[in-house]
């Protein structure tokens, strides 16, 4: 975010929503915690806050969290449904002898999908979606977990890639278990 756009947005908000404790230190904190936003995102957040506040009697200067939420709105169920369907499609038994792994979800669909996939129970839950009452519940929980991961920032990005050797060990163990050998 450019300093000029940030200053313009803050000035607009300050005129409409005066804050007695607004000072350079507080503005530095706003800038520090919103620095990762694009110019268009902070402009959209400012415009949305002003528009949504029109006609309300008691409106305050927006918090950092309010601006962030308006800048990057969480996806709707309609927007998340294709991701859920992709996991369903990918979670069919593969010729290699496994269902989709969390790593594959992360690599193909991103860190938020990974966190939601793991949070609802991973492939073992997605294997049982054919049960009549199970699918709507799992889908609802997946959407909630996805939004929570996006809101908090995905922790999985810190993990890095899962070592291939670990994947080989897991696959070999699963193959032995399904073959009935110890």
Does residue 157 register a pLDDT over 50?
no
For range 131-156, the mean pLDDT: 78
Does residue 50 register a pLDDT over 50?
yes
| Pick from 71-75, 107-111, 150-154: least confident | 150-154
pTM above 0.85, yes or no: no
For range 145-159, the mean pLDDT: 68
Does residue 22 register a pLDDT over 50?
yes
- Taking only the tens place, the pLDDT of each residue in 25-48 is 888 889 998 888 889 999 999 999
Share of the chain above pLDDT 70, in %: 77
Q: Please, what is the average pLDDT of the chain?
A: 79
Which span out of 19-28, 108-117, 146-155 was modeled with the highest average pLDDT?
A: 108-117
Query: At 159, is the pLDDT very low, low, confident or very high (cuts 50, 70, 90)?
Result: very low
Does residue 152 register a pLDDT over 80?
no
Does residue 17 register a pLDDT over 60?
yes
Query: At 173, is the pLDDT very low, low, confident or very high (cuts 50, 70, 90)?
Result: low
Distance CA 172, CA 166 (A): 10
For range 76-87, the mean pLDDT: 87
Shortest CA distance to 42 belongs to which of 14, 17, 74, 7? Answer: 7
| Pick from 17-26, 88-97, 156-165: least confident | 156-165
Query: At 156, is the pLDDT very low, low, confident or very high (cuts 50, 70, 90)?
Result: very low
């Amino acid at each position: 975010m450019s300093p000029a756009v940030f200053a313009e947005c803050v000035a607009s908000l300050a005129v409409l929503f005066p804050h007695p404790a607004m000072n350079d230190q507080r503005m530095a904190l706003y800038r520090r915690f919103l620095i990762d936003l694009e110019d268009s995102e902070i402009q959209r957040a400012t415009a949305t806050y002003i528009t949504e506040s029109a006609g309300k009697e008691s409106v305050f200067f927006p918090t950092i969290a309010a601006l962030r939420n308006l800048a990057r709105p969480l996806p709707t169920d309609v927007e998340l449904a294709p991701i859920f369907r992709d996991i369903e499609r990918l979670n069919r038994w593969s010729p290699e002898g496994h269902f989709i792994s969390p790593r594959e979800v992360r690599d193909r669909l991103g860190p938020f999908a990974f966190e939601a996939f793991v949070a609802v129970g991973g492939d073992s839950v997605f294997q049982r979606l054919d049960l009549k009452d199970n699918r709507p519940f799992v889908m609802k929980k997946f959407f909630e977990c996805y939004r929570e991961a996006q809101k908090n920032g995905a922790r999985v990005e810190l993990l890095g890639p899962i070592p291939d050797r670990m994947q080989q060990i897991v696959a070999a163990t699963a193959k032995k278990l399904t073959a009935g050998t110890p």
